[in-house]
Amino acid sequence: MSNSLTSSHSLTLAEQGRLGVPQTRRRVVAVTGAAQFLGSNLIGLLEEDPNVRKVVCLDSEAPTTAGAKSRVYNVSLTEASAEERMAEILSAEAVDVMVHLAFLDSPSHSTAFAHELESVGTMHVLNACRRTKVHKVVMRSQTLLYGAHPTNPNYLSEKHPLRARRSEPFFADKIEAENEVLRFGRPGQGRIATVLRIAPMLGPTVDNFVTRYLSHRLTPTVLGFDPLWQFVHEADAVRALRLAALYDVPGVFNIVGDGVLPLRTVIKLAGRTTLPMPRSVASGFTTALWLTQFAEAPPAFFDYLQYICVADGALARKELGFEPLYTSREALIDYANAQHLRDVRLLSETPA
C-alpha cells in the first residue's frame, strides 16, 4: 500500500512525462461532498496515500472515513456565506487541489435545493478557489449528460456535445456546473480543471437511482427498445478520482467500465423481471409515480431506457492512466450479488 503511487502502470506514464508536473511536494486535497459515497471513499483512499499531506473534508456532516490526516469542516454550499467560509478554510489549510463532489447522485424532488447546491454551489467553490492558491479543480460529472438519443454513436467521445434534456433540472444544473469548471480551467490562467464524466456506478455499497431501479422486482422498460448500457464499478470510480486528484491532467474524461450490455440482459443479470410498457403509457404512469415520490426518476429518464448513451473510456486510459478493474458486466454482477444478499436478509428478517 505504501507505494501505490509508484505502481508499475502509473510509473510508466509518469516516466513518459504524460502526467504533467512531477510531484515536488505532498499535496493538500480538499474534498467537497465529503460525507457522500464518493467523497467518503475518496477520503479513505487519500488517507492512506503517502503523496497526500492533508485531506480537508468539506461537507455539512463529517465523513465516516476521516482519519489522522483529515481536517473536517462543516460547510454548507447552499448558504450565502459559503464562498467566504470556503476561502478562509482553503487559505488557512493551504489547499492545492479541490475535488468537487458535492452533486446529487439521484434526481431530487427539491429542485430548488438541487440548483443551489449544484449550480450555485459550484460557483461558490470556484470563486473560493480563485481567491486562494488552489490551482486545480477536479469535478465529478456523469456520462448521462450526453443524453440518450437514437443518433448517438455507439461510443461517445469527450468531444461530443452534452445533449441531455435541459428541461430536466438534474441535467441542467450539472451541465451548468461543468461549464463553470471548464471556464475555471481555461488555458492561459495557470489553472487546471479536470472533469470526470462517470458512467452510472454499480457495486455492493453504492446507492443511487440506478441501483434502486434495478432493485425492483418488476423493472419497467420501454416496449420494443433495448438500448445498450454501460456501468462503472464504484471502486473504479473512486480510483479514477484519486488519479485525477494526484496527477495534473487537464481535460474531460469518460470514466467507464469496458463492454456494454443491453438493458434486458442487465435486468435479467440483476435477477429481476422486465415490465415492458409502451412509452406513452409508461411516461404517464411514471409521472404519477414520480409526483407521489414512488418512482426514483422523472419520466425524462425514459430516454435512457429507449436510446443509447454509452461513452468511450479510451482517453482516460491513455492520458489519465485509468484502467478499470471491472467490466460493466462484472460491476453489475458484483452489485447483483450484494443485492441478493440484501434480499435474502430482508426475507429472513421479515418472515411472511
Partner 1 sequence: MKRKDKRPQRESSANPKSRERREARPPARPAKAEKRGDGRAPAPSAARAEPKGKGGPSNPKRKARRTGRNREHTPARPEGPRLHLPPPPFSPSSGVIDERTAAVEAGLGDTEVDSEEAFELGIGARVVPPTTQYGEAFDSTPPPVHERKGDVEAQIRALEARLDGLIRQRHFADATTETESDEPVSERRGALAKTDSSPPVRLEPAEPPVEDFISRKWGRSALRSRAEEFDDFGLDPNFEQRVKPVVEFLYRSYFRTTAEGIDNVPAEGRCIVVANHSGALPLDGLMLRAALRIDHKQKRDLRWLAEDFVYYLPFAGVFMNRVGAVRACPENAERLLEKESIVGVFPEGVHGIKKLFQERYRLQRFGRGGYIRLCLRMRAPIVPCAIIGAEESSPLLYRLEGLTELLGLPYFPITPTFPFLGPAGLLPAPTKWRMRFGEPINLDNYGPEAADDHVLVGRLSERVRSSIQAMLDSGLRERRSVWFG
Residues that bind partner 1 (CB under 8 A): 1, 4, 6-11, 37, 40-41, 44-45, 47-48, 64-65, 150-151, 153-155, 157, 203-205, 207, 222-226, 228, 233-235, 238-239, 242-243, 259-262, 264-265, 268-269, 271, 307, 323, 325-327, 329-330, 333-334, 336-338, 340-342, 344-345, 348
- C-alpha neighbours within 13 Å on the C-beta side of residue 288: 5
Residues paired with residue 140 on neighbouring β-strands, in sequence order? 196
CB of residue 309 to partner 1, shortest distance in Å: 13
Residue 333: CB minimum distance to partner 1, A:
5
Answer whether 262's CB lies under 8 Å from 226's CB: yes
**With respect to partner 1, which residue has the nearer C-beta, 291 or 341?**
341
The three cell numbers locating residue 121 = 454551489
Cell, residue 164 = 441531455
Q: How many CB atoms are located within 10 Å of the residue 47 CB?
A: 15
Q: How far apart are CA 117 and CA 60, in angstroms?
A: 12
85 versus 272: smaller Cβ distance to partner 1: 272
C-beta of 196 vs 228, nearer to partner 1: 228
Helix, coil or strand: residue 254:
strand
- CB 304 → partner 1: shortest distance, Å? 14
Closer by beta carbon to partner 1, 20 or else 150 = 150
- Residue 9 or residue 133: which is nearer to partner 1 going by CB? 9
262-282 residues labelled b (16+ CB within 10 A) or e (exposed): ebeebbeebebebeebebeeb
CB of 87 to partner 1, least distance (A): 29
What are 343-350's contacts with CB under 8 Å, separation 24+?
none
What is the smallest separation between the CB atom of 224 and partner 1, expressed in angstroms?
A: 2
Q: Which grid cell sits at 15?
A: 516516466
Q: State how far the Cα of 257 lies from the Cα of 95, in Å rounded to an integer.
A: 31
Let me know if 9 is exposed, middle or buried by CB neighbors in 10 A (0-12, 13-18, 19+): exposed
Supply the DSSP string of 130-168, one letter for each residue: HHTT--EEEEEEEGGGG---TT--SSB-TTS---S-TTS
Q: Which letter does DSSP use for residue 311 in this model?
A: B
Strand partners, 54: 28
Instruction: Please report how close the Cβ of residue 190 comes to partner 1 at its closest, in angstroms.
Output: 28
Nearer to partner 1, 65 or 108 (CB): 65
CB of 226 to partner 1, least distance (A): 4
Cβ nearer to partner 1, comparing 157 with 189:
157
Smaller CB distance to partner 1: residue 189 or 205? 205
Q: What is the closest distance, in whole angstroms, from the C-beta atom of residue 241 to partner 1 in the complex?
A: 9
Up-side HSE of residue 162: CA atoms within 13 Å toward CB? 19
